Structure 1
């Protein structure tokens, strides 16, 4: 649209036709920042030159288009409907710490009494609402003034008791009480496939989840929350929500206090006309005048002075942006609904978030962990829709939404870390989700043997199982975002490269690390599965085997009343170890004995009989008496000696050979004699 051309954009800002807050809040502010090259907190002159040579110029038309200049009718209309609401310059010399600020309940009878002080404060409140929201109309003012279920709270800085002027509002919160719908009414409405007007969150949750119990709970929806533009991002909005939560949980109201010490708007407000008085009332006889200031109730009430309405939940419905979602998630709200079509005016998706309140002492008791059940279901549905309606979400925003939905089960108001797996992922589940070829491809890619296109088809299944929290795999924030973008949103690497502002090489390196973790996890899962299968027969045999002292027959059941048969520790551990050690020692000695017996020791035996030893002894004595050198070594013949046996065998062999030669010689001589005769 912009290109090299001159572009005109026009919109109304103030007046009953002023619908241009969306343009000024979202587009014009962004163009100002881009043209100036830095973020500006004020409108300034509204002109500048951008880095590309393009210039932004803002022209404001102050001349009325429906009335004459200075027409009193237009001034009266703007004053009555707060159409010319503008932010007054800040009067605080500094910014008080959020913990020093207090939230006050505003009495709407006094706020709309047309008293000069109340009117000035009403103009400030409407200025905050107009400056913070993209769409405003006189209907919003009417809803704020007389809607019976609406309440208004304001966050004020520390008030000086001697001050003569109203304090400057830092944050304004408008809430609407919802819920307490009968179960039968919900069933009748759901049976017709309709949704009644009013009670936005109860009817929406009942329709989306087909739940007939949630609508019976009481809650409050934050209609609008607005912070002063000069104090945005300083924690005042979070402080207001924290005080609001404590108020509806009854933490400011003590049961020991006297009931008269707390004020109630219905009891201490202005006189309300009954239905009978309205039937007999005559407009011609009514006296229209400004209310007497002396009869007005206090404009502000401390939360400790106001009797609270005990609730089960707090909720909000808003147009989804990264900043708003971060704000509500930090406040402890859990998403339960996301509209699948964007708003035609802003292009935003409507998001509904809930926060559970402490409900001790309430007559209506909610089921345990009802918000956890909604969060789980939303987590599953949102994951599936990420590749359809929410494919254009940034991976960081989608990851933040999933973490916020998961925080309901952990009870953490911030980012919920991944804990233990919700369901156990078994080897059978692995075989159902992935074939043997899939696991081989995954392992080959983890070892840098394949291109990432070969395993890209496995990413949706892997991502679903990871975000189901049934896999024992831990990923960093960037790795989880990458897995979400490729697996759930099915984006390309180039698209994720632009969103995360990372080079493609680094993205592919992270992708390899991710799949390597899953490959190792799947391999260990298969190993454990095989080990369990091998251990099952042994465990079954051990369970069926009879114990000591019981019947030795197979299949004999042990009596449930026989304690000795079921005692697995008949002996102590030391006794079992001693018995096993003795068995091993006896077995070792038996093997030693068998080895010794197998050795032939006859060749080492001392030969000779008593006669041979006596002859040798006499020889030694005779040599000693004659004075000859006595030999200490004597020789005794061993008939079983191996040397002698060898010698005897050789002698026998020679005798056999000589006998054979003599026989052959005789045979030849006889044959020669016979030849001579012939």
Structure 2
């Protein structure tokens, strides 16, 4: 680890309270014997200048003093790709970038901060809000004040894991699509995705595609495709300029550009198709349930009522049967008569004497 990295790491650890601090008694003693005496202006005229017994040291160890309570620490420097990457390694987030170049160095002044709060959830929330606002403004200025930036520098500015890892961005919705694109615009993108038109016909749409992608509304393209989309769509650079900047042949740039537009177009079309499918399903459900009415009682109450009605019906049927004359269906004959009848022969016909004649 270099001296710069070591110094920044130690500074963050110090203000986050990771060094051993003095006890309260030692602090009070240091404050009393620090050799500093506050006097008013009138006392200065009568002061006797004599050597002090205890003069405070010019420098102290970090473990010998308690750190101030800070919410964040910041840095300001002339923007270069190397310095930007250095500060991003320590979770510093850009919040300001000067639109005017320095007259001496030709660099843009950049301010970056990193939170020191132990409550990571709270700190991530406010630092992410700062960064998202900063990123939105930078995206709009890439084609103006920052058009001279290389695509790698511009990508490094608007991509910052320290600010975006805690925030879940909403994916693109049909409302956003209708805001940015007309139906004919979608048709042009689909035609380009099918190789039916050349890229010049959809270059005007790459600005909106770039704004949506770099605000995390769309995803799915690699770093080279991101650089090409940013350079063409947001910085208004030509294909030849992008090819020279990325040191790639023009045909490879166009191939990468085509694949990126095809992936982004598919995501947009999928959202539109899913919305139409949801609306159709909703209409079918409303049509199927139009004649249905909700039950007035629960299933348990309905079963209880049905059981009571069945029991009442059974009692009524039993009472009716008791009142009827069932003696005509009775089988007569004593056991002795049945024994003689069964023993008389093996015929399948059995005769039993009846007490009353048949009608």
TM superposition score category, shorter chain reference: 0.7 to 0.9
Structure 1 267/434 Cα, relative in aligned 2: closer, same or farther at 3 Å? same
Structure 1 535/351 Cα, relative in aligned 2: closer, same or farther at 3 Å? same
Matched ranges for 1:129-528 at <5 A: 234-253=1-20, 258-261=23-26, 268-276=33-41, 279-280=44-45, 295-298=54-57, 300-358=59-117, 369-404=125-160, 407-411=162-166, 422-471=169-218, 473-528=219-274
Separation (CA, whole Å) in 2 of partners of 1:299 and 1:258:
22
Q: Is the 8 A contact 1:261 1:305 kept in 2?
A: no
| 1:70-124 CA-partner distances (Å, limit 9, x unpaired) | xxxxxxxxxxxxxxxxxxxxxxxxxxxxxxxxxxxxxxxxxxxxxxxxxxxxxxx
Separation (CA, whole Å) in 2 of partners of 1:264 and 1:322:
48
Alpha-carbon shift at residue 236 of structure 1 (Å): 2.4
Q: Is the 8 A contact 2:171 2:216 kept in 1?
A: no
Alpha-carbon shift at residue 505 of structure 1 (Å): 1.3
Matched residues, number: 299
Separation (CA, whole Å) in 2 of partners of 1:542 and 1:298:
86
Q: Is the 8 A contact 2:78 2:108 kept in 1?
A: yes
Q: The residue matched to 2:221 in structure 1 has which SS?
A: coil
Structure 1 335/271 Cα, relative in aligned 2: closer, same or farther at 3 Å? same
2:288 paired with 1:529? no
Separation (CA, whole Å) in 2 of partners of 1:479 and 1:502:
12
Separation (CA, whole Å) in 1 of partners of 2:289 and 2:141:
49
Q: Which structure has the larger Rg over C-alpha atoms?
A: 1
Separation (CA, whole Å) in 1 of partners of 2:2 and 2:190:
49
Q: Is the 8 A contact 1:426 1:529 kept in 2?
A: no
Separation (CA, whole Å) in 2 of partners of 1:538 and 1:566:
31
1:71 matched to which residue of 2?
none
Structure 1 502/546 Cα, relative in aligned 2: closer, same or farther at 3 Å? same
Alpha-carbon shift at residue 300 of structure 1 (Å): 4.7
Separation (CA, whole Å) in 2 of partners of 1:476 and 1:344:
36
Unaligned runs of 5+ in 2: 303-359
Separation (CA, whole Å) in 1 of partners of 2:10 and 2:34:
23
| 1:462-514 CA-partner distances (Å, limit 9, x unpaired) | 1111112122x311111111111111111111221222111111111100110
Structure 1 266/378 Cα, relative in aligned 2: closer, same or farther at 3 Å? farther
The TM-score with structure 2 as length reference comes to 0.74
Q: Is the 8 A contact 2:14 2:67 kept in 1?
A: yes
Structure 1 271/370 Cα, relative in aligned 2: closer, same or farther at 3 Å? same
Alpha-carbon shift at residue 298 of structure 1 (Å): 4.7
1:211 matched to which residue of 2?
none
Separation (CA, whole Å) in 2 of partners of 1:370 and 1:563:
50
Alpha-carbon shift at residue 307 of structure 1 (Å): 1.2
Structure 1 262/496 Cα, relative in aligned 2: closer, same or farther at 3 Å? farther
Matched ranges for 1:576-595 at <5 A: none
Q: The residue matched to 1:271 in structure 2 has which SS?
A: coil
Q: Is the 8 A contact 1:262 1:304 kept in 2?
A: no
Q: Relative contact order, CA 8 A, sep 6+: which one is greater?
A: 2
Separation (CA, whole Å) in 2 of partners of 1:251 and 1:304:
10
Separation (CA, whole Å) in 1 of partners of 2:301 and 2:142:
57
| 1:138-174 CA-partner distances (Å, limit 9, x unpaired) | xxxxxxxxxxxxxxxxxxxxxxxxxxxxxxxxxxxxx
Alpha-carbon shift at residue 299 of structure 1 (Å): 5.3
Q: Considering only aligned residues, what root-mean-square deviation do their CA atoms show, in Å?
A: 3.0
Alpha-carbon shift at residue 315 of structure 1 (Å): 0.8
Alpha-carbon shift at residue 394 of structure 1 (Å): 1.0
Q: Is the 8 A contact 2:33 2:54 kept in 1?
A: no
Separation (CA, whole Å) in 1 of partners of 2:41 and 2:301:
83
Separation (CA, whole Å) in 2 of partners of 1:331 and 1:519:
36
Q: Is the 8 A contact 2:225 2:256 kept in 1?
A: yes
Q: The residue matched to 2:117 in structure 1 has which SS?
A: coil
1:23 matched to which residue of 2?
none
Q: The residue matched to 1:252 in structure 2 has which SS?
A: coil
The TM-score with structure 1 as length reference comes to 0.41
Q: The residue matched to 2:105 in structure 1 has which SS?
A: coil
Separation (CA, whole Å) in 2 of partners of 1:340 and 1:527:
42
Separation (CA, whole Å) in 1 of partners of 2:298 and 2:276:
36
Separation (CA, whole Å) in 2 of partners of 1:295 and 1:388:
60
Alpha-carbon shift at residue 286 of structure 1 (Å): 5.1
Separation (CA, whole Å) in 1 of partners of 2:13 and 2:238:
46
Separation (CA, whole Å) in 2 of partners of 1:337 and 1:565:
66
| 1:349-392 CA-partner distances (Å, limit 9, x unpaired) | 111111111156xxxxx888222211111111111011111111
Q: Is the 8 A contact 1:262 1:305 kept in 2?
A: no
Alpha-carbon shift at residue 297 of structure 1 (Å): 4.1
Q: Which has the higher helix share?
A: 2
Matched ranges for 1:112-127 at <5 A: none
Q: The residue matched to 2:99 in structure 1 has which SS?
A: coil
Alpha-carbon shift at residue 564 of structure 1 (Å): 4.0
Alpha-carbon shift at residue 259 of structure 1 (Å): 2.0
Separation (CA, whole Å) in 1 of partners of 2:28 and 2:139:
48
Q: Is the 8 A contact 1:459 1:487 kept in 2?
A: yes
Separation (CA, whole Å) in 1 of partners of 2:37 and 2:31:
9
Alpha-carbon shift at residue 263 of structure 1 (Å): 8.6
Q: The residue matched to 2:69 in structure 1 has which SS?
A: coil
